[in-house]
Amino acid sequence: MTTAPAAPLRLNGRGLGPRAIMAVVNRTPDSFFDRGATYAFGAALDAVARAVAEGADIIDIGGVKAGPGAEVDVAEELRRVVDLVAAVRDRHPGVVISVDTWRAEVGEAVAQAGADLLNDTWGGPDPRLAEVAAAHGIGLVCAHAGGLAPRTRPHRVGYDDVMADVLAHVTAEAERAVALGVRRDAVLIDPAHDFGKSTRQSLEISRRLGEMTATGWPVLVAVSNKDFIGETLGGRAVDRRGPGTMAVLGVSAWLGARVFRVHDVAAARRALTAVAALTP
Q: Where are the domains of the chain?
A: 10-278
More confident residue, 153 or 257: 257
Distance between CA atoms of 169 and 269, rounded to whole angstroms? 30
Distance between CA atoms of 145 and 189, rounded to whole angstroms? 12
Catalytically annotated residues: 226, 261
Q: What is the pTM of this model?
A: 0.96
In the predicted model, is pLDDT for residue 177 greater than 70?
Answer: yes
Task: Give tens-digit pLDDT for 31-81.
Answer: 888 889 999 999 999 999 999 999 999 999 999 999 999 999 999 999 999
Task: Give tens-digit pLDDT for 196-249.
Answer: 999 999 999 999 999 999 999 999 999 999 999 999 999 999 999 999 999 999
Distance between CA atoms of 175 and 170, rounded to whole angstroms? 9
Angle at 247 (CA atoms; ends 57, 171), nearest 5 degrees: 60
- 37 Cβ contact list (under 8 Å, min separation 6): 31, 43, 47
CA 197 to chain centroid, in Å, comes to: 16
In the predicted model, is pLDDT for residue 2 greater than 50?
Answer: no
b/e burial code for range 102-130 (CB count within 10 A of at least 16 → b): bbbbbbbbbbebbbbbbbbbbbbebeebb
8 Å CB contact between 223 and 265: no
Task: Give tens-digit pLDDT for 82-122.
Answer: 999 999 999 999 999 999 999 999 999 999 999 999 999 99
Domain covering 10-278: architecture: Alpha-Beta Barrel (3.20)
Q: What 3-state class would DSSP assign to 26?
A: strand
In the predicted model, is pLDDT for residue 4 greater than 60?
Answer: no
Burial group, residue 75, by CB count within 10 angstroms (0-12, 13-18, 19+):
exposed
The helix or strand, by DSSP H or E, that contains position 178, with its residue range, turns out to be helix 162-180
